[in-house]
Structure 1
């Protein structure tokens, strides 16, 4: 019988990633039995840069740990870790030295996890290995919800329960160059072939090094190395090699063990034979689960909205699989947006076929179908209600009524098909089938001008929805004209309009009460529930939008990308903007997870239904919300408008 201390440790570990992926009580109890409980006074250093990894990694039970990066005598804060967060695991599994200093900044209680016992679990629990493979960043700690580069969608499909056992084969010809090539030539080859790495080979095509996008960003783009130097100046070597036809699980374990993103495939699995392929983490994401490319192909072949609904339901299974495996939100949103866009385009094709069957013929003018709100930002994971509009080219007055009637009829069919798929009609009727939102270019320009010059509450509401538009059908020329008009109008009314937008972003103050309880709805259908969208997500989307408008960046809608761009433009605020982006990822993940569990939009949460880790992540996301709102208040001098 396990003692009570071991049982308490087990009860704590079983709900926290990565331990939550071990679904065998006996196995996890064995890990818990080897845990050391360590009290760390303020100022205690757990490990230092350059030290070899100890035989343990750490979980914060209570208190706070900070990671610091040291350069000569200066240090900078990398990350602050709180209850339920793991650190020190990357160097341990990668067999590499620590990169950062870990220091207790509060009285802390740590669980020191024995690495030997933990390693034994990797071959037995593929979900655990996959979680580590997709979630470990190169930061010296084990980071949750860290965005990863967006992979390309492949063509092969494997069932989720078989994927880890089946062999994974390099599915593309590797791009190589000789050691005599210049860095600029290697970068050009990577760009031309749209790949994220290039292998440096000798005269017999044996691998001697590798260059990745990350090397180019960190060493060349920063100016540390000239792009005219030879590739040997920045390549990594020796190369990690594998033999052909290893299983997916074996490849993942190898990547986790070495803490690398690429494995070079050679004839015999060593660097003594020619290169035959390359496998990246991106390739692994493509292989696992329902393959997005297969779903997209099926959407293109669909003949009815009923079948589209079935495919969208399969997409939600894919989404659930990604969320369970803690795949990065940047990848998930990219996949889901691509699938949703294809469904919308298919519904437009079905609508065009129906109007032709009605005898109305082909479209009488150029038009673009616009998606708005979360889908316009490329952030819609669940099937929520529709937000869309239609823009068509200006036509002579005598043709206007007939042209608009045609597009209204088309829009009514398209929105009907979308409703059949599961995207419900918008309760506020913000759809292209509404005559108000089916307009020619000139009328749309007039409408946006009105919203920008008359800053009423209703206009601010419309701005929060319609300013996040994106064309999914058409050649894009009409939305581009609208974007150009908006920025022309900003030159006329920039200060007042942007201040009004910033003020709207402050409508929802801190989501926590003085006693650190969640601010819940006091009455109505959602009494005692927390409004995740209004109180946490909307302040961030509103803030990102107004900051991008101020920066005159009109072609970037996605909230993550907006904060990334702002971090690049304003280095002095980069840490805040990146924290805001990470907070938004946490919120999107939580909303999708809860929505799938309850089969609803995930917008309203009961605090008591959240796990300890979910509550912690949610609370932590509120701090960037508060800091972003403070930045807006100062930048746009909002105290004078209150």
Structure 2
């Protein structure tokens, strides 16, 4: 079973009714599922649409179901992760009675009814569940008897269990295919294929695709002498041609090739043979895409023996990020995947250093801090880390610290070769200041938090965003305990952090104009990192520490959690969460375009719409500022 189907099966088994099926049954269903990436406000089906051949399940995002009552659209249900909807085709023959629309970027599984029906027939619990789900009154939810953990409503089933992180797959293909007419001569087409090094050509009539000629057709029909090379190409072409839509997923493309026993698919604008040709997907493209599958990359990282090999994988991660953004996959998913791969690379760099230096003389923890620790590093920014080793006897301290400093130096140099620049401020495990014993680290955090601004090691708030990459979980837990113990009622600390969050330069002038750089090579550029993203990062951290949100480092997730913890201000937090994603996407696109950290945005190159989008994303900051001033009683900069 391929990796994508495996991950789909893992996701399904967490939710009813799929938790009633065997792994074998789940695998079969997963292999036939279509993965749909829906943009915000995209309609999946609407009232009176003919029924689809599948029902749906939300993998991530939010789908709303609407009905029309008194000539107005009324929201019936909100379908979150794990919700099943659109079951009408199972039980009814008439058209849809409601509209399903994505309220945010969403990933939805389309589960073919023909594939699922046999499992329903053989499993009474599954059938009962679906019937109850379909028949229940759409306005009220009730708990399923036989599946206690579920909450059910009309065509929606929702369970709040957290799903595992999803691996999804972007697919690149040849957007410059050979296109010939039906009367083209085989010899000429063969020559064209040889010159362009392509192994297929699309045959057209009136600019619409009617067939495909591949290398295989040439060898099995011409080279064997069945036809001469002077016949017209329509004599040997494979027809009908199998067409797909532009943003087809790897899983869908694989299924179509297997089902139709073909090696090439023709990409058209609307997925039919009656629209403009956009390109060709070959089996080779699928192999390449699978090589960039996150699961495959992580396996390769674990086997890597040098910084050179790790660098190659890091470059493929950049392609994966670019493709995923291009395909409009939600940024939160891309972040998850990129962080897993970044962490695997750092972990492998530490392991290679240990293979070189010999076993560590004490237990330790390597923590990524800053953007890596927050799992927000989509671009190649600098590395930030700290190294903590367990307490050892005084006479061994020097020798143990020396080992870990060497480990820190070796690892940071490996990572530099991979492409992660050294931190200009020296916030790395290779620095004596940031490589020390647990007791010394506890003293460091105590000093930072109880006398902020006083000690020589200027408090840098990135030390409060950390994630264990390799080593002892207990060591990280000990630091977390110290941080949250010190945070309790610590007015001085929050006063310092609050003022620090407010001190960042404002992004817009009084007249709502972007405040840009006044000199240097980035003159007239907008510093999206310092003026827009950092104030959100700092504020999310500030509130997370004050509300005891232990273990949530990611800025987007911190705001989402704050909306639940402090419901009175939930709207502000949710607006900030959305703003953070929008701004991050702008920065990432800029960085990918210029192959840098994306910190400075060239406003001249932006479209009017994008400028407006950027400006709107800065809107929640004013309210956030007021909230900080009120909650932490800040009147002026201290």
C-alpha change, 1:557 and 1:88, in structure 2 (3 Å) is: closer
Q: 2:386 maps to what in 1?
A: 389
Q: Gaps spanning 5+ residues in structure 1: where?
A: 1-84, 104-137, 152-167, 182-199, 240-246, 255-262, 268-283, 357-361
Equivalent residue in structure 1 for 2:427, among 398, 405, 430: 430
Q: Work out whether residues 409 and 433 of structure 1, in 8 Å CA contact, stay in contact via their aligned partners in 2.
A: yes
Superposed CA deviations along residues 500-533 of structure 1, whole A, max 9, x for unmatched, are 2111111125411233221112223432221111
Equivalent residue in structure 1 for 2:447, among 444, 447, 450: 450
Structure 1 residue 149: Cα displacement? 7.4
Equivalent residue in structure 2 for 1:582, among 578, 581, 586: 578
Q: Distance in 1 between matches of 2:325 and 2:395?
A: 53
C-alpha change, 1:237 and 1:518, in structure 2 (3 Å) is: closer
Q: 1:466 maps to what in 2?
A: 463
Q: Work out whether residues 548 and 566 of structure 1, in 8 Å CA contact, stay in contact via their aligned partners in 2.
A: yes
Q: Distance in 2 between matches of 1:526 and 1:331?
A: 31
Q: Work out whether residues 144 and 152 of structure 2, in 8 Å CA contact, stay in contact via their aligned partners in 1.
A: no
1:497 aligns with 2:490: no
C-alpha change, 1:467 and 1:97, in structure 2 (3 Å) is: closer
Q: 2:405 maps to what in 1?
A: 408
> Equivalent residues in 2 for 1:99-178 (5 A)?
146=104, 148=106
> Comparing both chains, which one has the higher relative contact order based on Cα–Cα distances under 8 Å and sequence gaps of 6 or more?
1
Q: 1:107 maps to what in 2?
A: none
C-alpha change, 1:313 and 1:150, in structure 2 (3 Å) is: farther
Q: Work out whether residues 331 and 585 of structure 2, in 8 Å CA contact, stay in contact via their aligned partners in 1.
A: yes
Q: Work out whether residues 91 and 97 of structure 1, in 8 Å CA contact, stay in contact via their aligned partners in 2.
A: no
Structure 1 residue 606: Cα displacement? 1.6
Count of aligned positions: 436
Q: 2:628 maps to what in 1?
A: 632
Structure 1 residue 172: Cα displacement? 12
Superposed CA deviations along residues 283-332 of structure 1, whole A, max 9, x for unmatched, are x9x98893111111111111111111111101100100011111101100
Structure 1 residue 449: Cα displacement? 1.2
Q: Distance in 2 between matches of 1:394 and 1:174?
A: 60
Q: Work out whether residues 319 and 332 of structure 1, in 8 Å CA contact, stay in contact via their aligned partners in 2.
A: yes
Superposed CA deviations along residues 186-210 of structure 1, whole A, max 9, x for unmatched, are xxxxxxxxxxxxxx237xxx97687
Q: 1:569 maps to what in 2?
A: 565
Structure 1 residue 455: Cα displacement? 2.3
Structure 1 residue 418: Cα displacement? 0.3
C-alpha change, 1:89 and 1:388, in structure 2 (3 Å) is: same
> Equivalent residues in 2 for 1:108-507 (5 A)?
146=104, 148=106, 181=125, 200-201=126-127, 224-226=141-143, 228=145, 234=152, 249=244, 290-356=292-358, 362-456=359-453, 462-491=459-488, 494-507=490-503
C-alpha change, 1:210 and 1:588, in structure 2 (3 Å) is: farther
Structure 1 residue 150: Cα displacement? 11
Structure 1 residue 499: Cα displacement? 2.2
C-alpha change, 1:287 and 1:94, in structure 2 (3 Å) is: farther
SS in 1 for 2:468: strand
C-alpha change, 1:93 and 1:596, in structure 2 (3 Å) is: farther
RMSD, aligned α-carbons: 4.3
Equivalent residue in structure 2 for 1:530, among 510, 521, 526: 526
TM-score normalized with structure 1 length: 0.60
TM-score normalized with structure 2 length: 0.61
C-alpha change, 1:423 and 1:88, in structure 2 (3 Å) is: closer
Q: Which moved more, 1:526-535 or 1:398-407?
A: 526-535
Equivalent residue in structure 2 for 1:604, among 583, 600, 604: 600
Superposed CA deviations along residues 10-40 of structure 1, whole A, max 9, x for unmatched, are xxxxxxxxxxxxxxxxxxxxxxxxxxxxxxx
Q: Distance in 2 between matches of 1:436 and 1:394?
A: 16
